[in-house]
C-alpha cells in the first residue's frame, strides 16, 4: 500500500465483491455491520486502512456481539475489547462484524451456531472446523484479509487447519482477554487467523501486550514479531511427541504431516521423537475444567439485564420461571450439555473427584511440556487427526466431535503458544495443518519455524475456488 500498489478502498471493494459473490454459500459472516470507510495509509498506524474481521464473541462498542447465540440476540456491548481498541489505534478498519462461530465457542465445526453453519471453502459439503470457523473460512475464501479468532481448546488452530490458513493461539496472558466473551477463562486466548505467517505476525504485533485491565495478562515486553520471520531453522531442535502419531489419526493426514517433518529436517532442523506421557488425559481434563468454568461464565445470561428474556409478562411463574424459560429457549443443545456437565463437576461431593483432580492432572500435562522444552525449541504435531469432515457427520456424537481437538487441547491446558500452518492436501483436495508448539512467550520461535517452512513450500499460495453459480 505504501508503494501505491493497493489502496484501502480497493481492498474493501475486493472483499465486499467476494462476500457478495460467495458468502451466501460459505456463510462466514453472520452480520457485516456498517460498511467500513476506507482510510488511506498516511503515517498513522501499522495497519492503517486494512480491514480486520472479528469473531462474534469479541466485543465492539455499539456493534452487535452475540456469540451466535439466541440468548444474546441484539446485544450491543457498551465498550470495545482491548484488541479492538488496539486495532483501531493501529489504523485498522473494524470490518465484517462478525464472523460465524459455534455458540459461545462450544464446538469444532461451527455447526452449533444459532445462525446456521458455515461451509468449508474447499468443499462446501464440509465443515470449516470450529469454533472460529467463520473467521477461518472468511480468510480462506478471501472474504477477509485477516481475522481474529479465539482459542480455548483449538478453536483457532483446528479451523485454520481445515481451511488451509495460518492460525495462532498465543501464550495465555499474551493477548488481553478483556472484551472476549468468556468460555473458559483460564484457557481462552484471542489470536490471529491469516493467509500467511507474515500477516499473522503483523496482527500479533498489534494485539499482543500487557493490559492492566486483564489481571491474567502478563506484563512482559512485546517483540516485533516480523523480525522473527527468518528463513533459517538450521540446528533448531524440534520434538515429535510419539503420543500424537498413534491410533485415531487418519493415515493420510499422518503421512502428510510426516512429509512436512521431513521437510523441516531438510531445512536443517534436528527433529527427534519425544514423549508427553500425560497426553491421553488432556481431553477428559479439558472437558472438566472448560465446562466448569463455562457453567459459571454463562450464568450471567439470565434475562435480567440484556439479551433474550422469556416469560416476564403475564406469566404467573415469577422469577424462577423467567430464568428457566429464558435459558431453555436461549441456549442451544451443546451449550446446555456443557452447562450441565460443568455444574455437575463442581457440585458438592464431586468437586474433589473431578475438578480438583483435573487441576492436578493439568499441572502434570504442563510439566510434560516443561520437560520437553528443556531440550527442544519447539514441538511439531498434526493440528487435527483428520481433514475437514462432512456437515452433520459428528454433530450427533459429541464424543467424536470432542476428539477432533485431541491435538490442540494440551496447549491451552499448559498455557503455551501454538500455531497451525498449512502443510499439504489430501487426495480429496482438503488442506491439512501442521501444529507447532513452543514454551511460554516463545511466539518468535513459532514464527521463525513456520516462516521457514512456508518459504520452502507452496501450500499457502493455493487458494480454494468457489463457484459463484447456483447449486
Partner 1 sequence: MYEAVIGLEVHLQLATRTKAFCSCSTEFGKAPNSQVCQVCLGFPGALPVLNRTALDLAIKVGLALNCSAQEHTKFDRKNYFYPDLPKNYQISQYDLPLARNGFLDICLEDNSKRIGIRRVHLEEDAGKLIHRSDKSLVDFNRAGIPLLEIVSEPDINSPEEAHEYLRELKKILEYLEVSDCDMEKGSLRCDANISLRKKGTKALGVKSELKNMNSFKAVREALGFEITRQSQMLAAGEALAQETRLWDEKKGETFPMRTKEEAQDYRYFPEPDLPLFVIDKDKIAAIKSTIPALPREMMRRLEEYGLSRYESGILADFKQDAGFAGRCFDIYPHKNKKPLTNFLIGPLLSEANSRGCMMSELGITPEGLIELLSLLDEGKISNLVAKAALSEMIETKKPAAEIIAKKNLMQISDTAELEGIIKDVIKENQKSADDFRSGKGGALMFLVGQVMKKTAGKANPKAVQGILKERLKE
Which residues have a catalytic role annotated?
55, 131, 155
Q: Which of 123, 143, 196, 302 binds partner 1 (CB under 8 A)?
A: 302
Contact residues for 170 (Cβ-Cβ < 8 A; gap 6+): 189, 190, 191, 204, 208, 417, 443
Q: How many CB atoms lie within 10 A of CB 106?
A: 30
- CB distance 421 to 436 below 8 Å: yes
Q: Which of 75, 95, 114, 369 binds partner 1 (CB under 8 A)?
A: 75
Please name which of 423, 422, 418, 407 lies closest in space to residue 248, comparing C-alpha atoms.
Answer: 407
Closest to partner 1 by CB, 113 vs 142, is 113
Minimum gap (Å) between residue 439 Cβ and partner 1: 20
Lookup result for grid cell 502434570: 364
- CB distance 100 to 404 below 8 Å: no
Minimum gap (Å) between residue 436 Cβ and partner 1: 26
Stretch that binds partner 1, among 70-78, 119-127, 386-394, 453-461 (CB under 8 A): 70-78
Intra-chain end-to-end CA distance of the chain, in Å: 37
Size of the site for partner 1 (CB under 8 A): 43
Q: Does 365 bind partner 1 (CB under 8 A)?
A: no
Q: Does 305 bind partner 1 (CB under 8 A)?
A: yes
Q: Does 351 bind partner 1 (CB under 8 A)?
A: yes
Q: Does 319 bind partner 1 (CB under 8 A)?
A: yes
Stretch that binds partner 1, among 116-124, 157-165, 212-220, 403-411 (CB under 8 A): 212-220
Q: Does 70 bind partner 1 (CB under 8 A)?
A: no
Stretch that binds partner 1, among 25-33, 45-53, 214-222, 426-434 (CB under 8 A): 214-222
Estimate to the nearest angstrom the gap between the alpha carbon of 453 and the chain centroid: 21
Cα 57 from Cα 181, distance rounded (Å): 5
Q: Does 180 bind partner 1 (CB under 8 A)?
A: yes
Q: Does 50 bind partner 1 (CB under 8 A)?
A: no
- CB distance 148 to 55 below 8 Å: yes
- CB distance 109 to 392 below 8 Å: no
User: Which grid cell is 92?
Assistant: 485498522
Q: Does 465 bind partner 1 (CB under 8 A)?
A: no
- CB distance 359 to 139 below 8 Å: no
Q: Does 210 bind partner 1 (CB under 8 A)?
A: no
Q: Does 372 bind partner 1 (CB under 8 A)?
A: no
Closest to partner 1 by CB, 295 vs 452, is 295
Q: Does 178 bind partner 1 (CB under 8 A)?
A: yes
Radius of gyration of the chain (CA): 21
Q: Does 418 bind partner 1 (CB under 8 A)?
A: no
Residues recorded for the chain: 471
Q: Does 316 bind partner 1 (CB under 8 A)?
A: no
- CB distance 298 to 288 below 8 Å: no
Closest to partner 1 by CB, 225 vs 301, is 301
Q: What share of the chain is helix, strand, coil (3-state, %, to 5)?
A: 40, 15, 45
Residues engaged in binding partner 1 (CB under 8 A): 58-59, 65, 67, 72, 75, 77-79, 81, 177-182, 184-186, 212-216, 292-293, 295-296, 299-302, 304-306, 319, 323, 343, 346-348, 351, 355
Amino acid at each position: 500500500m505504501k508503494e501505491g500498489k493497493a489502496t484501502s478502498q480497493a481492498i474493501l471493494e475486493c472483499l465486499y465483491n467476494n462476500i457478495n459473490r460467495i458468502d451466501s454459500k460459505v456463510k462466514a459472516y453472520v452480520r457485516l455491520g456498517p460498511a467500513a470507510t476506507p482510510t488511506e495509509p498516511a503515517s498513522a498506524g501499522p495497519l492503517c486502512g486494512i480491514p480486520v474481521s472479528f469473531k462474534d464473541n469479541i466485543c465492539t462498542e455499539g456493534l452487535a456481539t452475540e456469540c451466535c447465540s439466541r440468548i444474546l440476540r441484539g446485544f450491543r456491548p457498551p465498550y470495545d475489547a482491548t484488541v479492538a481498541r488496539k486495532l483501531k489505534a493501529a489504523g485498522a478498519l473494524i470490518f465484517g462484524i462478525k464472523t460465524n462461530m459455534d455458540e459461545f465457542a462450544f464446538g469444532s465445526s461451527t455447526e452449533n451456531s444459532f445462525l446456521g453453519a458455515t461451509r468449508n471453502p474447499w468443499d462446501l459439503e464440509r465443515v470449516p472446523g470450529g469454533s472460529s470457523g467463520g473467521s477461518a473460512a472468511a480468510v480462506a475464501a478471501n472474504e477477509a484479509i485477516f481475522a481474529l479468532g479465539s482459542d480455548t481448546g483449538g478453536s483457532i488452530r483446528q479451523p485454520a487447519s481445515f481451511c488451509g490458513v495460518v492460525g495462532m493461539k498465543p501464550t495465555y496472558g499474551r493477548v488481553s482477554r478483556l472484551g472476549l466473551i468468556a468460555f473458559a477463562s483460564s484457557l481462552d486466548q484471542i489470536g490471529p487467523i491469516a493467509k500467511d505467517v507474515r500477516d499473522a505476525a503483523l496482527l500479533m504485533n498489534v494485539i499482543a501486550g500487557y493490559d492492566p485491565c486483564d489481571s491474567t495478562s502478563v506484563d512482559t515486553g512485546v517483540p516485533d514479531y516480523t523480525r522473527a520471520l527468518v528463513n533459517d531453522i538450521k540446528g533448531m531442535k524440534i520434538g515429535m511427541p510419539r503420543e500424537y502419531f498413534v491410533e485415531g489419526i487418519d493415515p493420510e493426514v499422518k503421512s502428510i504431516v510426516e512429509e512436512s517433518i521431513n521437510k523441516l529436517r531438510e531445512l536443517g532442523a534436528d527433529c527427534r521423537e519425544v514423549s508427553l506421557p500425560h497426553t491421553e488425559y488432556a481431553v477428559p481434563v479439558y472437558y472438566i475444567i472448560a465446562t466448569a468454568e463455562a457453567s459459571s461464565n454463562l450464568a450471567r445470561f439470565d434475562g435480567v439485564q440484556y439479551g433474550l428474556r422469556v416469560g416476564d409478562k403475564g406469566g404467573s411463574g415469577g422469577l424462577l420461571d423467567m430464568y428457566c424459560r429464558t435459558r431453555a429457549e436461549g441456549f442451544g443443545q451443546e451449550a446446555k450439555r456443557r452447562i450441565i456437565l460443568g455444574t455437575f463437576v463442581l457440585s458438592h461431593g464431586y468437586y474433589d473427584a473431578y475438578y480438583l483432580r483435573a487441576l492436578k492432572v493439568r499441572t502434570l500435562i504442563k510439566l510434560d511440556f516443561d520437560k520437553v522444552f528443556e531440550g527442544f525449541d519447539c514441538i511439531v504435531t498434526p493440528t487435527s487427526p483428520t481433514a475437514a469432515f462432512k456437515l452433520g457427520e459428528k454433530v450427533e456424537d459429541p464424543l467424536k466431535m470432542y476428539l477432533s481437538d485431541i491435538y490442540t487441547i494440551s496447549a491451552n491446558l499448559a498455557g503455551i503458544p501454538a500455531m497451525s500452518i498449512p502443510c499439504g492436501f489430501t487426495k480429496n483436495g482438503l488442506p491439512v495443518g501442521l501444529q507447532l508448539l513452543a514454551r511460554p512467550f516463545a511466539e518468535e520461535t513459532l514464527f521463525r519455524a513456520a516462516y521457514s517452512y512456508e518459504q520452502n513450500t507452496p501450500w499457502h499460495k493455493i487458494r480454494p475456488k468457489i463457484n459463484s453459480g447456483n447449486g
